[in-house]
Amino acid sequence: MIDTLFAGLIHGSAYALVAVGMSLIFGVTNVANFAQGSIVAAGMMVAWWLGGPLGLPIIVVIPVVALVCGIIGLLMNIGVIAPLEGRKPIAALLATIGIGQILDNGLQLIFGPQTRSFPEILPTHNLQAFGVRFGTSDIVMIIVAIISMLALWAFLKFGKAGQAIRATSQDPDAARQMGIPVASIRTLSFVIGAVLAGIAGIFVGLFNGNINPMNGGTIGMTAFVAATIGGLGSIPGAVVGGLALGLVEAVGVRAFGDGAHDLITFGALILILILRPQGLFGGAHDATSEPMTGTFLGATRPIELPRWANWVLAVLLLATPFFFNDYLSGIGIQATIYAIAAVGLTLISGSAGQTILGMAGPLAIGAYASALLVGTLHWPFLLALVASGVIAAVISTVLTFPVWKLSGHYVAIATIGLGAVTVAIIRLWEPLTRGSLGITGISYPNVFGAVLNTQQEMYLLNAVVLLVALWIVTRIRKSHVGHVFEAIGADQEAAEALSIRSGSYKALAYAIAALLGGLAGSLMAHEYTYIDPTMFNSTMSMTILTIIVLGGMNAPLGAVIGSIVLIGAPELLRPISDARILIYGLLLVIIILFRPQGLFAKKG
């Protein structure tokens, strides 16, 4: 048990370093930096190159990694985040996702995607005490973490720039009036956060032994959970949250196996959000901050097409399968699946103004429900398709029921956890779902006795379902309920003053989005004929959200356009596949900077 606690302490120290940087950035800029995990990976890979091929000692590796990651943080803020000041913080959040994709793909291009051994720049198993083997690297990791946090505390407490950071965090407008250069202070916070992430990457590499450029995503998301548990914006909270989460994970995995990792991590997140949404060390006033709520610009509206134009587009969509070859039809299948899920998301994230970051959960529920209904209970496909959407809506509504009493970014963060918990339960429920092995041999869609087993036929089926989804969402938007959604998204406080129960209506909008997500998951299961838990990850959730950002958050037809750009364009870039995700991330950042209302919306 001692070895388990020690391992948890080591992991918790790394989480704490990354979480402190996240909380510092959040407290000063009100931006949730989802690129922090990618900076961890950057520090890890630079340390591998310095300590491996170049053979440099750790005393050189640490300052060089700190310098490189500090420059990344500097460029990230100056080039992307600072120009977004004054817009809804959801813009900056999604920009950090794009930056993370650029960094991840850039690291793969520079260092290669393969897994490799991290150089032993410090001994890793040369000490023993109380029956536990550990290394100098573990001791140094703890010492560096303690020194870094104490130095940051002293800097914030006694340093002139540190005091300016604290003042900016408490009230940026008042700080600006007192002559504090708020823009420079925000840049400094990004630099410090990036340096801490890079240093954490060194010791994560030492502890894990084997690394690849994509390792940063998991620790970045876990550190974000730690920061939320401690209280976003609270430095002491980030430290306590990181250490506590590391210990809880270590004990939980020892007791229930590695498959329970996500259930423990994100279950703890949901529990703390329900019991104390501002976190262990956050103040009650923090719960009013809503950085992940609303659209990019308040005064935007979707482009309205005449009725005849909509009919022309519908006919063209249904006609394309008859002219596409297998390859293009395969791209169409992927694009329409994501479009169906994204169309539903325009109601909750666009009209109702509540960002959802965990749409992979409803897709997973729909996919597994349909596969089991058809494969085990032998239901007809069309009946299973509809039932899967309903099941996804019901289960998602039940799971999210406690979080709608929260506000703003706490709901958005909770949906991350709920999506991860849903997939973790699927992974652990082996007698029903076959766990990590997934379900194979799922039958092709059978519609009125006709088996749809060609790419063109499946694409046509998806196009029909997509048109139905567009019709449903459009009718809802024009109804009384749709107008209520828009009122809540435009001004939630004013809507509640008129006795509108915003939480209940947001839950309804989410249920509709989950229903369409379940339909998309069902189609995915039967057209891929294989599903496993790894398919329904945070990348899927972020992709669906990014689709509506590109097309226009409150534009259903824009969701289709966004899906074509985001899903179809990378496939067309397959000849340069090594760089296509980098180009995709760059495209996302450019859209956010220069076309924030989306491709199919206009400033109202």
Write out pLDDT tens, residues 405-448: 776 667 877 888 888 888 889 988 888 898 888 999 999 999 98
Q: Alpha-carbon distance 601 to 183, whole Å?
A: 30
Tell me if 76 is assigned to some domain: yes
Same domain, 415 and 488: yes
Which of the residue ranges 214-223, 505-514, 552-561, 584-593 has the most confident prediction, judged by mean pLDDT?
505-514
Q: Of the residues 260, 285, 310, which one is the last residue of a structural domain?
A: 285
pLDDT at 580 over 80: no
Q: Alpha-carbon distance 546 to 540, whole Å?
A: 10
Same domain, 547 and 469: yes
Which of the residue ranges 354-363, 470-479, 544-553 has the most confident prediction, judged by mean pLDDT?
470-479
* Mean pLDDT, residues 571-579 taken together: 59
- Residue-wise pLDDT for 512-561, tens only, equals 999 999 999 999 999 999 999 989 988 788 888 888 888 888 888 989 98
* Mean pLDDT, residues 1-16 taken together: 78
The residues with which 300 forms a beta bridge, in sequence order, are 603
Domain span at residue 209 reads 2-122+135-285
As a whole number, the mean pLDDT across the chain is 84
Same domain, 95 and 221: yes
Across 382-462, the runs of DSSP E, i.e. the strands, are 446-447, 450-451
Tell me if 317 is assigned to some domain: no
Q: Alpha-carbon distance 449 to 512, whole Å?
A: 29
Q: Which H helix or E strand runs over 116?
A: strand 116-117
| Residue bearing tokens 């170049």 | 54
Q: Are the beta carbons of 413 and 228 closer than 8 angstroms? A: yes
Question: Where does the pLDDT of residue 291 fall: very low under 50, low under 70, confident under 90, or very high at 90 and above?
Answer: very low
* Mean pLDDT, residues 239-262 taken together: 81
Tell me if 310 is assigned to some domain: no
Q: Are the beta carbons of 519 and 385 closer than 8 angstroms? A: yes
Cα distance between the two ends of the chain: 61
Same domain, 345 and 269: no
pLDDT at 34 over 50: yes
Between residues 293 and 380, the one the model is more confident about: 380
Tell me if 315 is assigned to some domain: no
CA distances from 365 to 114, 270, 516, 528, 532 (A): 32, 19, 11, 16, 12
pLDDT at 165 over 50: yes
Which pLDDT score is estimated for 289? 44
The string of DSSP letters for 33-53 reads -TTHHHHHHHHHHHHHHHHTT
Same domain, 468 and 518: yes
Same domain, 218 and 352: no
Tell me if 296 is assigned to some domain: no
* Mean pLDDT, residues 383-404 taken together: 91
What residue type is 584 in one-letter code? Y
- Residue-wise pLDDT for 301-313, tens only, equals 677 778 888 888 8
Which pLDDT score is estimated for 301? 66
CA distances from 196 to 69, 192, 223, 252 (A): 9, 6, 12, 27
Question: Where does the pLDDT of residue 604 fall: very low under 50, low under 70, confident under 90, or very high at 90 and above?
Answer: low
Q: Alpha-carbon distance 522 to 374, whole Å?
A: 10
pLDDT at 285 over 50: no
Question: Where does the pLDDT of residue 294 fall: very low under 50, low under 70, confident under 90, or very high at 90 and above?
Answer: very low
Which pLDDT score is estimated for 74? 94
For 20, the token pair is 């402190």
Same domain, 99 and 219: yes
Total structural domains within the chain: 2
Question: Where does the pLDDT of residue 252 fall: very low under 50, low under 70, confident under 90, or very high at 90 and above?
Answer: confident
Give the residue from 349, 365, 360, 318 showing the smallest Cα distance to 559: 349
Tell me if 311 is assigned to some domain: no
Same domain, 279 and 335: no
Same domain, 257 and 379: no
Which pLDDT score is estimated for 127? 67
Which pLDDT score is estimated for 236? 84
Same domain, 208 and 103: yes
Tell me if 313 is assigned to some domain: no
Q: What CATH number has the domain bearing residue 250?
A: 1.10.3470
Same domain, 251 and 371: no
Alpha-helical runs (H) found in 451-497: 455-478, 480-490, 492-497
Same domain, 355 and 269: no
Classify each residue of 507-532 as buried b or exposed e, where b means 16 or more C-beta atoms within 10 Å of its C-beta: bbbbbbbbbbbbbbbbbbbbbeeebb
* Mean pLDDT, residues 28-52 taken together: 88
Between residues 147 and 580, the one the model is more confident about: 147
